[in-house]
């Protein structure tokens, strides 16, 4: 029996490495293998590659090179932001219940260590407002952390408005922009954020590398201690090839941004329309229909109980996978969890509905034919599951 053709619609989890990025990385995997902290010529060549990459990344997001700290990815960048800033007498953190687990689990750990955390409840679209943040600010608030684009819903937060509220009270704002950098126009000078996290494998770069933007003047305590790398802010020998690859991937993403965005917007519109046509009232759309309020690559739906019985979300995803459709129920970092998505529960979805969610996340190489086929397969799978539930 011939295997079905793969339709990959899980780009919010990870993206394939762009061949042009691999070519940029190759010399630093094969020839220029020196440790960038070494003083000999191989070490100096690696150091130059890192600093040139830092300059390019900084320019692409409106920052200064010294404000870029290289990390192992978005999770480390989030941890470094929260733990690096939240210290001293102002140990109150404000965040949202719809944040990524990297923020929420770090916040919980900080609570166990004596910090105070306020968790704002998002609206039905998954975003919190600047007014909510303003009401939660106190004299003890040392940091606000609100994501740019929700990784499960695609909803974009009013980051600029939140930054203005924070700065009026002298509180720095961290923004988890892992689902935005390299896809949407993101410039720290325009957003007004003080810290911002990004991860290369979300924009066709390599896995295991990311960065944290830290505005000049923000005191950041290191999470990892050891050497003096990254101006003493992140110890450990730098992953030269990955850093070079990240810079090239971001460069390509910005150069091709308009074309990619236009393509993704067309796919998003087509996907929602096809879902409406094929599944009618069987599902709820958790992603905002208004394209101005959401990123163009994520569409999240969930299935309420059918014929009075809950839909088995795990069985739904397994059936789609058997048919070659690669999607997820939410964040890849929590895919092994039995519990329904914390984001869907935070926006008020009943437990049995949140447990049967599908997140489609598209890439710039997906086609309209793939979208049509994925919806056709989903409709067939749901027809079978609904039949079992009768």
- Active-site positions read 333
Instruction: Round to whole Å and give the CA distance between 82 and 99.
Output: 13
Both tokens of 376, joined, read: 């056709």
Give the CA-trace dihedral at 316, 279, 343, 324, to 10 degrees: 40
Sign, Cα dihedral of 223, 22, 374, 180 = positive
Both tokens of 86, joined, read: 């939240």
Strand partners, 360: 299
Both tokens of 214, joined, read: 């830290």
Strand order of the β-sheet with 357-361 is 284-285, 298-302, 357-361
Please provide the DSSP assignment of 175-198 as one string.
Answer: EE-TTTBTTB---HHHHT-SEEEE
Beta strand pairing status for 298-302 and 357-361?
Answer: antiparallel
Contacts of 362 (CB under 8 A, 6+ apart): 9, 11, 264, 267, 268, 271, 296, 297, 298, 299, 371
Question: If DSSP states are collapsed to H, E and C, what string results for 245-292?
Answer: HHHHHHHHHHHCHHHHHHHHHHHHHHHHHHHHHHHHHHCEECCCCCHH
Torsion angles phi and psi, residue 204, rounded to 5? 70, 25
* H or E element at residue 51: helix 41-61
Of 27, 9, 23, nearest to 252 (Cα)? 23
Both tokens of 371, joined, read: 């979208």
Determine contact, residues 209/238, Cβ cutoff 8 Å. no
Beta strand pairing status for 210-214 and 195-199?
Answer: antiparallel
């Amino acid at each position: 029996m011939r295997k079905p053709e793969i339709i990959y619609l899980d780009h919010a989890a990870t993206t394939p490495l762009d061949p042009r990025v691999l070519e940029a990385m190759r010399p630093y995997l094969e020839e220029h293998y020196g440790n960038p902290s070494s003083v000999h010529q191989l070490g100096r060549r690696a150091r130059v590659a890192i600093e040139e990459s830092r300059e390019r990344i900084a320019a692409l997001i409106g920052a200064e090179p010294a404000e870029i700290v290289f990390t192992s990815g978005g999770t480390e960048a989030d941890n470094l932001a929260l733990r690096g800033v939240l210290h001293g007498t102002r140990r109150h953190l404000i965040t949202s219940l719809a944040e990524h687990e990297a923020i929420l689990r770090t916040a919980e750990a900080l609570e166990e260590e004596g910090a105070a955390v306020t968790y704002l409840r998002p609206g039905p679209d998954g975003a919190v407002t600047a007014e909510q943040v303003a009401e939660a600010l106190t004299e003890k608030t040392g940091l606000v952390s609100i994501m740019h684009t929700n990784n499960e819903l695609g909803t974009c937060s009013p980051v600029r408005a939140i930054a203005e509220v924070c700065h009026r009270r002298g509180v720095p704002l961290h923004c988890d922009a892992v689902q935005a950098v390299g896809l949407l126009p993101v410039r720290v000078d325009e957003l007004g954020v003080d810290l911002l996290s990004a991860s290369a494998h979300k924009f066709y770069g390599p896995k295991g590398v990311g960065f944290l933007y830290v505005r000049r003047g923000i005191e950041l305590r290191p999470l990892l201690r050891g050497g003096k790398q990254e101006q003493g802010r992140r110890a450990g020998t730098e992953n030269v090839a990955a850093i070079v690859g990240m810079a090239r991937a971001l460069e390509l993403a910005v150069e091709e941004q308009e074309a990619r965005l236009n393509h993704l917007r067309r796919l998003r519109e087509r996907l929602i329309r096809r879902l409406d046509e094929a599944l009618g009232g069987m599902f709820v759309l958790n992603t905002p229909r208004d394209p101005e309020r959401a990123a163009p690559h994520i569409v999240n739906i969930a299935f309420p109980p059918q014929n009075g019985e809950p839909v088995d979300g795990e069985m739904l995803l397994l059936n789609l996978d058997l048919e070659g459709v690669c999607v997820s129920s939410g964040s890849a970092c929590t895919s092994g969890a039995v519990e329904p998505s914390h984001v869907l529960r935070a926006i008020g979805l009943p437990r049995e509905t949140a447990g049967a969610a599908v997140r489609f996340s598209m890439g710039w190489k997906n086609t309209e034919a793939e979208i049509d086929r994925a919806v056709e397969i989903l409709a067939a799978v749901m027809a079978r599951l609904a039949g079992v539930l009768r």
